[in-house]
Amino acid sequence: MPQIDQIALTYGSQIFWLLLTFGFTFLVIGLGMFPKIQGTVDARDKRIADDLEAARAANSKADELEENYRVKMEKDRSEAQAVVEASKAKANAAAEKRKTKANADITAKLAAAEADIKARSDEALKEIEDVSAEVAQDMVAKISGAKVTKAAALKETKAALKHG
Amino acid sequence: MATEEGKIDPMYQFEVQTILEGFSLGGQQIAFTNSAVWMLVAVAGLWIFMLGGMKRELVPGRWQMIVETFTGFIDNMMEANIGPAGRKYAPYVFSLFMFILFSNIFGLLPVGVLGLHPFTVTSHLTVTGVLAIMSFSIVLIVGFAKHKLHFFSLFIPHGTPLPMIPFIFIVELLSFLVRPFSLALRLFVAMTAGHILLKVLAGFVINSTNAGAGYGVLVGIPSFALMIGISALELLVAVVQAYVFALLTSLYINDAENLH
């Protein structure tokens, strides 16, 4: 096995070249390049984590805004509802009042008109009685020649009118 | 593959060959070898691979994505095994994992087709041994720096009955001291075994075909089919062994960092 047969002859050069090449590997690649490459990876991981965090924050902010908007919308709507309700009630009350007043007016006018009608019909009735009594007095005078007082004639006429 | 008198030696691939004499250091010849070439190739490949991840864009491209998958994999492993304190060891474990992974995979590349000589750095005990000793040293240094002599309580599990403590201590200490060897041997053996198996099967294909068309069909084709399957398996082993080395290192560092 040459590895063992040659060991006494070659160990110096083997160790020398190994230390040289591995030393270069350790100093330039291990200590020089490795931390830089790992640093890039770490920076990227951190960047990704930060971006994710920012996105999460923005998302929750948006949720919050939406919630605020929703609450405000709800409030505005209920306020508008209240305003509508109030104005409707007010309008109703005003209409009711006007209606009552109009009703009262109409009743008063109706009563006045009825009273008028009654007065006129009474008057007319009285005239009819008067005329009837005079006619009856004249008829009695002409037919029998008897003198009938106006009061008696009126009394008879009234009774006759009452019986129809 | 060396053909010495028609014989194919599956061990030849592990031979370290001097390309340049280099210099001498403390009696040892520090030569520039094929092993050094493949170490440099692995590191160069790794460096180019990592450059693709250095664009540092917010939205990664495909290459950057792959590199980030690897860095994230090791980062998660350290975080899961050691906790937040483990991240400071991630550069070391990442270097270890990627160096072993690229060495393993580059050693499997079929560059022999181009006339080049593939060599798997991690199939050498010297290399895996040094890597294991490095990991073990970190465990010792961190353990004693953080917990002082209290670090020895690592060898006494909670709830050990008093008379058992000396025995348990010795057993746990032995298992602790064996760690660098098991770490080094596991990678070395896994790589070596797979490469020997592939070369032996390749030798079957060549020798049986040389012996005649009948043998070629009878032995060569099944061997070749088996090689395809084992190559895929070796690719898996290359990844798994790099992972195991990094995982065990992170577990050992966890012992040093958190005791129990």
Q: Per the structure, how many domains does chain B have?
A: 1
Q: What pLDDT score was predicted for residue B1?
A: 44
Whole-prediction pTM: 0.75
B21, closest residue in chain A (CA to CA): A13
pLDDT of residue B6 exceeding 70 = no
Q: Do B71 and A18 touch (CB under 8 A)?
A: no
Nearest by CB: A29 against B14, B46, B123: B46
- What is the three-state SS of B10-59? CCHHHCCCEEEEEEEECCEEEEEEHHHHHHHHHHHHHHHHHHHHHHCCCC
Q: What is the average pLDDT value for chain B, to the nearest integer? A: 89
A43, closest residue in chain B (CA to CA): B58
Asked if B99 reaches chain A (Cβ–Cβ under 8 Å), the answer is: yes
Domain assignment present for B69: yes
pLDDT of residue B5 exceeding 80 = no
CA torsion angle B68 B70 B76 B77 (round to 10): -170
A34, closest residue in chain B (CA to CA): B91
Domain assignment present for B65: yes
Q: Do B43 and A2 touch (CB under 8 A)?
A: no
Domain assignment present for B158: yes
- In chain B, which residues have their Cβ closer than 8 Å to the Cβ of A20? 39
Q: What is the pLDDT of residues A4-17, one digit of tens each?
A: 888 888 888 899 99
Range of the domain at B51: 12-16+27-258
Q: How far is B166 from chain A, CA to nearest CA, in Å?
A: 37
Q: How far is A25 from chain B, CA to nearest CA, in Å?
A: 6
- Looking at per-residue pLDDT, the higher value among A35 and A150 belongs to A35
Share of chain B above pLDDT 90, in %: 57
DSSP three-state, residue A34: helix
Q: Do B36 and A12 touch (CB under 8 A)?
A: no
Domain assignment present for B70: yes
Q: How far is A54 from chain B, CA to nearest CA, in Å?
A: 18
Domain assignment present for B2: no
Domain assignment present for B6: no
Q: What pLDDT score was predicted for residue A164?
A: 63
Domain assignment present for B3: no
Q: Do B28 and A22 touch (CB under 8 A)?
A: no
- In chain B, which residues have their Cβ closer than 8 Å to the Cβ of A41? 68, 71-72, 75
Task: Say if CB B201 and CB B10 are below 8 A apart.
Answer: no
Nearest by CB: B95 against A15, A29, A38: A29
Among A75-84, A106-115, B19-28, B39-48, the least confident range: B19-28
Asked if B15 reaches chain A (Cβ–Cβ under 8 Å), the answer is: yes
Q: What is the pLDDT of residues B109-136, one digit of tens each?
A: 888 888 888 899 999 999 999 999 999 9
Domain assignment present for B103: yes
Nearest by CB: A37 against B68, B92, B134: B68
Q: How far is A59 from chain B, CA to nearest CA, in Å?
A: 25
